[in-house]
Structure 1
Amino acid sequence: MQTNLADFIKGTPEGDEAEAILRACVHCGFCTATCPTYQLLGDELDGPRGRIYLIKQVLEGAPVTASTQLHLDRCLTCRNCESTCPSGVKYGRLADIGRKVVEQRVPRKLPDRIKRYVLKEALPRRWLFEPALLAGQLLKPLLSKPLQDKLPPLPARTAWPSRQHARKMLVLDGCVQPGLAPNINAAAARVLDALGVQLVAARGAGCCGALRFHLNDQDAALDDMRRNIDAWWPYVETAEAIVMTASGCGVTVKEYGHLLAHDSAYAAKAARISDMTRDLSEILPAFEAELAQRVRERRADAGEGTAASGASAVAWHPPCTLQHGQQIRGKVEGLLRALGVEVKMCRDAHLCCGSAGTYSLLQPELSQQLRDRKLANLADTGAGRFVSANIGCIGHLQSGTETPVEHWIELVDRALHG
């Protein structure tokens, strides 16, 4: 694709990156076939190819309109198009660059500005989010149905192992996960503890930065990333890895090195942190044989059958941030099957469930349509439980079904410990 960038961005790091991405696009349209919003709306401008044209026009200095902003806002940034693209177009990065410019050029209406401000200021701060979550539980009958659906019953917290091990790995607590699902990291810690690995949550680490970044407050998001790097840096020589139990956080932390490449004070540290970062599904397959043996022994001691306790069949929903953002496929299913769990894949497993960070709050109609499609496909598998790998997907799916939805590590924890 030929480009002629405007002076305001030509020659800048973002301009150079955007130009390289635009030039890689060959207009083939393969991406359109796997775009969830194009499937719903049937508008070329609500598919990757159309949005690429819109961003190209913006970066070449064409007038920026509210219509341009709407089409970019409707994008889930699921990056399914990146998995489909034969030319390797990095659409997600181009969307971030284009949205930032559009955000600066098109004033939003006051209600939208207020909503976005509350989301980017409250959700990343646990000291604000968790009291608000408790207040929401108390006032739940007075809230709208969409907000009630976003407030599942809060689980009782389970024990974090206290044993010390020579082998250590860091884990990111994150922002909303500790309040909504505190037992995900606790389950990961218990499983790794049984394998002789201590999981450590560094004080001072918090939101990975994805939330603010995708709400176009990119400067504040980069500050979130620098804060996490500072919190983790004292551990980099002793920790084997930085483990991510939320794939949405994982895909972002793996990009710290790229996003902070032009920050002379943090570029090298950010690259090191990204190199150390692993999704939990990349860690546990190395322990598969030991885990399988331990699970078999526990079941034999308990007089159970061959299937994992409480999991005769589960349907696996791979988050977009895992299968498209991190290009990780097959690891969770393989591990669960090795532990005796019957794992089913649903129709159109490659498509987004509609969660996409704050998308479900900002684009509720599209989000709910995608959720309901995904839930129907998951239900068609006949599984009695759904598992995923990202807190956003888990909460979003659970808001539309009575079928239990949980993180896959919680299933492994029960199989291992009963």
Structure 2
Amino acid sequence: MLRACVHCGFCNAVCPTYRLLGDELDGPRGRIYLIKQTLETGAADAAGLSHLDRCLTCRSCETACPSGVEYGRLLDIGRELMAKPGIRPRRQRWLRRGLVAALAYPRRVAWLIGAARRLKPWLPGFLRAKLPDRQAAETWPAPRHQRRVLIPQGCLQPALAPRIDAATARVLDSLGISAVSLPAGCCGALPHHLDAQSEALAMARAAVDRCWPALQAGAEAVVSTASGCGVTLKDYGRLLADDPDYAAKAAAVAAKTRDIAELLSGEDLSRLAIRTCRVAVHSPCTLQHGQGLPGIVECLLKGLGFELATVADADLCCGSAGSYSLLQPAIAERLRDAKLTTLQAGAADVIVTANIGCWLHLRERATLPVRHWIELLDPGAPG
């Protein structure tokens, strides 16, 4: 993987942190040098690790790379090599462990968010801004169609934005497809990027166990409404390839996973009763670079009659990147503000995205409403 890099620098041109900070070591090429040095010498230090930590894992560099460098995998290897107790400061280790413990378990998330909402008037301003208004739990259509798909309930989305999956279920129901809700549980993405690899793999196995019986019973797909979860689900075959008990099942779950836009692209959407508007689309990095589905939401919405506002630098990250906005707030805020400038420049009525993290991050400062794009297709959506 290291030898595939020819050091051309095309990656730096599309790297958000390199463009923002101008440091070679805060671009993909420089980080690859750091990983290579660590592999060759066995030496690592906190300064080198900080450059890896500043990477958003947006994988825009992979899209731009003419040599097919698997930068995301290299970064995982580098972080695992360098994020040792003697290198990563104790405070950072405890913060990362705390984020996993608090945010990767649905019941804890629901309790914490409920408590935060009750205490909202007394919270610091930056925390109040991060807390969206409560969405009422909405009823899903009862399963009534021969065609069935599975919708995994993740860790954050059920507590913060339950309307997204309910809207998805209603859209699918109107197309003759029943959506079956799976029990809530983290897909493993959050701990995977927070130095908790064993915990991430345990969560991946649990997710496979939740999906497998329904897939065996005839469900045609595992449908992700959060592109960050989708890119991880699609990687289960690789992540669990060395597990003899799960390798085959994980590969099957990965092969059956579809982003909701991916699924709807193959359906006749003429039956949907839609009220169109002018839309600014933010395509999450996990959708366009991680899953390799650039422009898929834009194409769907345009085909349904929505007017799309032009968005400059649409390939760049908004700065959310999972827990990144909590760990690297200064960079995340600068990236978000730049992204909102481009999203709000085209006189759109609404900003839409395809990932819960991007939705949370953008809505903090947006002057326009921010929604998941599937809500625009929802026949039961409020006016």
Contact 2:284 2:317 in 1 (8 A): yes
Match among 196, 206, 209 for residue 176 of structure 2: 196
Report the CA distance between 1:158 and its aligned residue: 2.2
Q: For 1:222 and 1:66, how far apart are their aligned partners in 2? A: 26
Number of residue pairs aligned between Structure 1 and Structure 2: 382
Matched, 1:409 2:378: no
Q: Secondary structure at the match of 1:287?
A: coil
Q: For 1:108 and 1:140, how far apart are their aligned partners in 2? A: 33
Q: For 1:68 and 1:409, how far apart are their aligned partners in 2? A: 41
Matching residue's letter, 2:111: P
Aligned residue in 2 for 1:217 = 196
Q: Secondary structure at the match of 2:258?
A: strand
Q: Which one is further off, 327-336 or 224-233?
A: 327-336
Q: For 1:385 and 1:207, how far apart are their aligned partners in 2? A: 29
Q: 1:36-185 alignment to 2 at 5 Å?
A: 36-104=16-84, 106-185=86-165
Structure 1-normalised TM-score? Answer: 0.88
Aligned residue in 2 for 1:17 = none
Q: 1:10-409 alignment to 2 at 5 Å?
A: 21-104=1-84, 106-203=86-183, 206-237=185-216, 238-288=218-268, 291-295=269-273, 308-309=274-275, 311-409=276-374
Structure 2: where are the runs of 5+ without partners? Answer: none
CA distances 1:239-269 after superposition (whole Å, capped 9, x unpaired): 1000000000000010000111111111111
Structure 2-normalised TM-score? Answer: 0.96
Report the CA distance between 1:414 and its aligned residue: 4.3
Structure 1: where are the runs of 5+ without partners? Answer: 1-20, 296-307
Q: Select the structure of larger CA radius of gyration.
A: 1
| TM-aligned CA distance change 1:194 to 1:416, over 3 Å | farther
Would you identify which runs of 4 or more consecutive aligned residues in structure 1 move more than 6 Å?
Answer: 415-418
Q: Which one is further off, 264-273 or 76-85?
A: 264-273
Report the CA distance between 1:107 and its aligned residue: 3.9
The RMSD of aligned alpha carbons is 1.5
Contact 2:96 2:195 in 1 (8 A): no
Q: Secondary structure at the match of 2:84?
A: helix
Report the CA distance between 1:61 and its aligned residue: 2.6
Matching residue's letter, 1:398: R
Report the CA distance between 1:417 and its aligned residue: 8.9
CA distances 1:341-369 after superposition (whole Å, capped 9, x unpaired): 11223100000000000000000000000
Q: Which one is further off, 212-221 or 331-340?
A: 331-340
CA distances 1:46-96 after superposition (whole Å, capped 9, x unpaired): 000000000111112342111011101100000000000000001001101
Contact 1:294 1:416 in 2 (8 A): no
